[in-house]
Structure 1
Amino acid sequence: MAVEYPHRSVQKINLKQVIKDREVKTLINEADRQLEVLGYTEHGLRHARLVAKNSRQILVQLGYDERIAELSAIAGYLHDIGNVVSREGHEKTSALLARDILVRLGMDYSEIAQIMTAIGNHHEEGGNPVSEVAAALILADKADVHRSRVRNPALIKFDIHDRVNYAVRRSVLSVDSDKRRIIFDLKVDTQIASVMEYFEIFLSRMLISRRAADFLNCKFEMLINENRLV
């Protein structure tokens, strides 16, 4: 049962405070350790920082309120902490764990609710871009495809997820605010993995990314080796 703080003082919590929190650090590190045992790509502090940064950047560059952008950054940093419990349903567990942390830190309940909604909807299986915060989180999370996430390159010939991630030499998520475009630009080594293999495992992620861009009144574009595919 969650602990309530009826007489707590409400504060405007920012990403720096969340990053410094000992519980948050522990949950991210332990969640990533469990995923490593299960054979998943890196989901640790590097991933959390990058998703937080890009979530904020998307909304700032599109002209959204700075506080909304900050909430998106916080959601981005906390979105995978539920993996410490289980990979299955991790988005829901992450939202609930984030709720308890943010209540303890003194965040306003309405802001906590926005972050919970975004985290609970970030996964491509069942998630939906139901708010600006959720849409930015989805785009930032799905864009983190890169060889640096592969833990053991020696195994790439056996695992298609590792192989595709390892084939990505460069990945850039950018925003064209004038033309309302969100662009995912990849440099893929097709000697390691084909473009078809990329779509085989990431098609659902690209579809939810397109819906997220639509929610922000933007067009989602994807480039692989300078060829426009979406």
Structure 2
Amino acid sequence: MKSPKEIALEKYFLKLIPSGGSSERLARLLVDDDEVQLLQDHANSVSIKRLGYNDHGPVHMRQVAVNAVRMLELLRASGITTSLEAEQIGTYEDSLDAVMLAAFLHDVGMSIGRQDHEILSVIIARPIMERLLVQVFPDEPNRRVIIASTATEGIVGHMANRRIHSLEAGIILIADGCDMEKGRARIPMTINTTPKVGDIHKYSSNAIDSVTIGHGKKRPIRIDVKMSSDVGFFQVEEVLLQKINMSPVKPYIELYASVQDQDVKQYV
């Protein structure tokens, strides 16, 4: 059974997708696929119950999808072409398809464990990508290869420990970093009371009240982070900012963070 939060995010995600094309069909296949759902559920169980980490399951992956599609839209509205468009090997819709696949599958490797989970995610995700893409593009193998390859770069690169080069993969990197509101840390904060290495991520995430993505003043994308205490700056500076700095999308990002009733801090 899907949680109310999953259902709400799915509805919002689907509203962001242009209707009537291949992207809408792929989006609906992703949200309705039993294997994808089961992998996301188990990844969350392993992450929270076994390892004591925060949410890496269906809610997180849907939130990353929403973040990524929103940023892709903002770039397009500002006249920024995707890598597939600029290289004349794909369309905007192909880039959107790659971003959706990467967002929904980037953390399925957490169903096995944390170490190198981005590589494990690729191993698990590639057959799923092919299974879904062949339903959307049954007679276009070259298109399937390009979309799957671009999505794979997004999955491999989402931890900011490998250099990535496409705009599409760079969007996944930042979209993942933007999911750091306090709700993501709520469950592990409740069930894990013994101090352990990595707790700073839970506590700093718990201080983040909201992350909003919208139009920037001087750049296409503005990210605003509102927090309840200074500990939230750790999450901004050690997670989100590091991902922005590693992303090809960095030139198009404005990042601001502030504690309630205090001055806003601008990073990029």
TM-score range, shorter chain: 0.7 to 0.9
Distance across 2 between alignment mates of 1:88 and 1:117? 18
Question: What's the C-alpha RMSD, in Å, of the aligned pairs?
Answer: 2.4
User: Which of 176, 197, 202 pairs up with 1:162?
Assistant: 202
Distance across 1 between alignment mates of 2:245 and 2:193? 28
> 3-state DSSP class of the match of 1:169?
strand
Aligned AA (1:128): R
> 3-state DSSP class of the match of 2:246?
helix
CA deviation map 1:193-226 (0-9, x unaligned): 5355446xx52541221332x5464144232235
Contact preservation (8 Å) 2:110, 2:117: yes
Higher helix share: 2
Aligned AA (1:28): Q
CA deviation map 1:68-112 (0-9, x unaligned): 123212211111001112211111111221111111221612211
Q: Where do 5+ consecutive residues of structure 2 fail to align?
A: 1-21, 82-91, 138-143
Distance across 2 between alignment mates of 1:182 and 1:129? 20
User: Which of 149, 165, 171 pairs up with 1:136?
Assistant: 171
> 3-state DSSP class of the match of 2:73?
helix
> 3-state DSSP class of the match of 2:126?
helix
> 3-state DSSP class of the match of 1:41?
coil
- Paired residue for 2:155? 119
Distance across 2 between alignment mates of 1:219 and 1:50? 19
Distance across 1 between alignment mates of 2:110 and 2:201? 18
Q: How many angstroms does 1:152 deviate by?
A: 4.1
Distance across 2 between alignment mates of 1:182 and 1:157? 39
Aligned AA (1:210): N
- Paired residue for 2:223? 184
Aligned AA (1:174): G
CA deviation map 1:109-160 (0-9, x unaligned): 2211111111111112x23331111011011000111111121445579422
Report whether the alignment pairs 1:222 with 2:256. Answer: yes
Q: TM-score, normalised by structure 2?
A: 0.71
Aligned AA (2:94): R
Q: Which contiguous aligned blocks of 4+ residues in structure 1 show a shift greater than 3 angstroms? A: 152-158, 195-199, 214-217
Distance across 2 between alignment mates of 1:221 and 1:40? 26
Contact preservation (8 Å) 1:57, 1:69: no
- Paired residue for 2:63? 50
Map of 1:91-130 to 2, 5 A cutoff?
91-105=118-132, 106=134, 108-124=144-160, 126-130=161-165
Distance across 2 between alignment mates of 1:70 and 1:30? 24
- Paired residue for 1:6? none
Distance across 2 between alignment mates of 1:141 and 1:90? 14
Distance across 1 between alignment mates of 2:232 and 2:51? 26
Contact preservation (8 Å) 2:102, 2:151: yes
Contact preservation (8 Å) 1:173, 1:185: yes
Aligned AA (1:35): S
Count the aligned residue pairs.
Answer: 213
Q: Where do 5+ consecutive residues of structure 1 fail to align?
A: 1-10
Identity %: 23
CA deviation map 1:163-214 (0-9, x unaligned): 11111111212343x7324332122111xx5355446xx52541221332x5
